[in-house]
Amino acid sequence: MVHNAGIVCGVHGPHSAGACLVLGSPGLDEPLPLMARQAATHVLLGPGHYRAAEHPCSCCAIRGLPRPRS
């Protein structure tokens, strides 16, 4: 579930510029491999994914994500 601001800022804007939305389930066992297969470049994770970095599939899933600038 995403509130209206998340829909407007997180879905409509990127989609209008050619982005593709990939939806996953609330757990981590399905969305992380899905992110890897779809080569996700940006991710909006919810509260159920707060431990995503500790999951065994996280390395493959975050491969396409941009790295933070220092």
> Whole-model pTM above 0.85?
no
Report percent pLDDT > 90 for the chain: 0
Taking 60 as the threshold, does the pLDDT of residue 1 lie above it?
A: no
Mean pLDDT of 28-50: 80
Q: How confident is the model at residue 2 (pLDDT cuts 50, 70, 90)?
A: low
Q: How many CB atoms are located within 10 Å of the residue 32 CB?
A: 23
pLDDT band at 6 (very low <50, low <70, confident <90, very high): low
CA distance 47 to 69: 24
Is the predicted pLDDT of residue 50 greater than 70, yes or no?
Answer: yes
Exposed, middle or buried by CB within 10 Å (0-12, 13-18, 19+), for 61? buried
